[in-house]
Structure 1
Amino acid sequence: MKRLKLYGFNNLTKALSFNIYDVCYAETSAEQQAYIDYIDEQYNADRLTDILLHVTEMIGAHVLNVSKQDYDPQGASVTCLIAEQQLARYGSDTLVAHLDKSHVTVHTYPEFHPENHLATFRVDIDVATCGEITPLSTLDYLISSFDSDVITMDYRVRGFTRDIHGNKVYLDHPVHSIQDYIASPTLAKYDVDDMNVPHANLFHTRMRLKDLPLENYVFDMDLTDVSSLKKEQMLAALHVEMEEIFHGTGV
């Protein structure tokens, strides 16, 4: 892609909101809690930090500061302050500031439904950048980093910059759909739907996994002696949960 020639610096703000949901069928409250404990350990603050650091590396940004926290009884958060360029340091306390600083954050929300035997793990990741950096190239990595049953993504470019002739530029790279930045083998695994507002530089894509092998959605449960009818009921509950999350419906 030909680089846009600007008057001054690029002050467009690009924000990607990436949300994944992992759903598990857990028959008893003990199984639900065991699943929550497992997820909480698997996606602790240290592992989430590693994921965000790789995201930062992929978009060519530099980490200025990392703050992370594991919560009690469950959940974790990580925030990385990033910059397009490294900050120049003079002496022991003086920094030369840049106008391109932004952030990458992740928050986890493990929870379970008290009545329908389901536990759900939600991860929210926000990547906000300024200047030429766009976070869309990280989507395949993010999808593969989690057990992504349902995914919702929003991408928004805000503000404007100016070209060398002084004309306002509201978008400095082509975007027709978030899907264009996800590999075809990944997309093939999901039902995908777009709701875009191109004139506002606002793009939304949601994805729902097509195939749901039941053995992938039980935790500490032996399916050997489970009847066919029971298995159908379990799969139906999983389908309803994912359908409601995908469409933003249900109670």
Structure 2
Amino acid sequence: MRKLRLHGFNNLTKTLSFNIYDICYAKTARHRKEYIEYIDEAYNAERLTQILTEVSNIIGANILNIAHQDYDPQGASVTMLISEEPVLSEEDLANVERPGPLPDAVVAHLDKSHITVHTYPESHPDGGISTFRADIDVSTCGRISPLRALNFLIHSFESDILTIDYRVRGFTRDVKGKKHFIDHKINSIQNFMSRDTRNRYQMIDVNVYQEHSFHTKMILKEFDLDNYLFGTGVEELSGKEEKEIRKRLQKEMMEIFYGRNITKL
């Protein structure tokens, strides 16, 4: 691909935002409490900092500042300010429409950038459904796209449902003064995911190409009830209980995936 000769710094802002959801059924109040405690420990501020540090390594950023906080009664947040490091190769900087590493060392050219994550563990007061949501934003200003970190982030959380948005904002100028509103090819966020991810999830795209805005929703194709039970197993349930719990879980997942309340399943 022909190198774009710019006038000054590439100041296109590229933002990758996504929500991930993990759903489970916790039968008793004690099980629901234990699920929240488990999630809070598994994804505390220290662990989230480690994950975002790996994201920073993947996109070749220099971490300027880290702010992190565990909340009472639950949840955590991490915010990183990042800046550029020296560029090693044009191949590393190429925003080719293909999956990024899992993870691999990639050096990029960044400035005025940040990475954030916030977590929201919660339980349904009556239905026994518990959910864990994490909101993640990776925003860069420079030549590389944060989509390079998408594979690593998806595999770091292994979630049931994901909603992903990618948007390129602003413009940069070439040496002739012509504006460029995007500097790399993209038809779908899916093209930046590994094959195993695309095989595991059912996906829907809603893309507005003229606005350089891309949206992908993902939900696991396979549903194994044993993977969604916390504190109990399928063998401990009666046939009636198993049917009811399966219905509740699938309703919860469909409501999150489609973004609306569903009266009947």
TM-score, normalization: structure 2? 0.87
Following TM superposition, where does structure 1 have runs of at least 4 consecutive aligned residues deviating by more than 6 angstroms?
none
Q: Distance in 1 between matches of 2:227 and 2:2?
A: 45
Contact 2:110 2:140 in 1 (8 A): no
The 5 A counterparts of 1:141-180 are 141-180=152-191
Unaligned runs of 5+ in 2: 87-108
Q: Which position in structure 1 is the counterpart of 2:99?
A: none
Alpha-carbon shift at residue 85 of structure 1 (Å):
2.9
Letter in 1 for 2:199: A
Per-residue deviation at 1:201? 0.6
User: After superposition, what is the alpha-carbon deviation per residue over 1:162-193, rounded to whole angstroms, capped at 9, x for unaligned?
Assistant: 11211000000111111110112111111100
Structure 1 residues 227, 2: CA separation in 2 closer, same or farther (over 3 Å shift)?
Answer: farther
Whether contact under 8 Å (1:69, 1:78) holds in the other structure is yes
Give 1:244's match in structure 2, choosing from 244, 255, 263.
Answer: 255
Please give the alpha-carbon distance, in whole angstroms, between the structure 1 residues aligned to 2:20 and 2:83: 26
Take 1:41 and 1:122, find their aligned partners in 2: how far apart are those partners? 14
What one-letter code is carried by the residue in structure 2 that aligns with 1:69?
Answer: Q
d(CA) in 2 for partners of 1:222 and 1:203? Answer: 39
Of 186, 190, 194, the match for 2:197 = 186
How many percent identity over aligned positions? 55
CA positional deviation for 1:225 = 3.0
Looking at structure 1, the residues matched to 201 and 32 of structure 2 have their Cα atoms a distance apart, in angstroms, of: 26
Instruction: Supply the AA of the counterpart residue of 1:12.
Output: L
Distance 1:163 1:76, change over 3 A: same
CA offsets 1:95-130 (integer angstroms, 9 cap, x no match): xxx992210000000001112210000001101110
Name the structure 2 match of 1:30: 30
Which segments of 5 or more consecutive residues in structure 1 lack a partner in the other structure?
Answer: 87-97
Quick one: structure 1 residues 105 and 37, their matched pair in 2 at CA, closer, same or farther if it must change by over 3 Å?
Answer: same
Q: Which amino acid aligns with 1:73?
A: P
**TM-aligned CA deviation for residue 7 of structure 1:** 1.1
On the 8 A contact 1:60/1:133 being kept in 2, the answer is no
AA in 2 matched with 1:57: N
Instruction: Write the letter of the residue equivalent to 2:175.
Output: I
Q: Displacement, 1:228?
A: 2.5
**Alpha-carbon distance between aligned partners in 2 of 1:5 and 1:25, rounded to the nearest angstrom:** 55
Deviation string 1:42-101 (CA, Å, 9 cap, x unpaired) is: 000000000000001111111111111111110000000001237xxxxxxxxxxx9922
Q: Following the alignment from structure 2 to structure 1, what is the Cα–Cα distance between the partners of residues 85 and 179? A: 24
SS at match of 1:195: strand
Structure-to-structure mapping, 1:103-118, within 5 angstroms: 103-118=114-129
Match of 1:101 in 2: 112
**How many angstroms apart in 2 are the aligned matches of 1:131 and 1:4?**
13
When the two structures are superposed, what TM-score results if normalisation uses the length of structure 1? 0.92
CA distance in 2, matches of 1:111, 1:16: 25
What is aligned with 2:212? 201
Q: CA RMSD in A?
A: 1.6
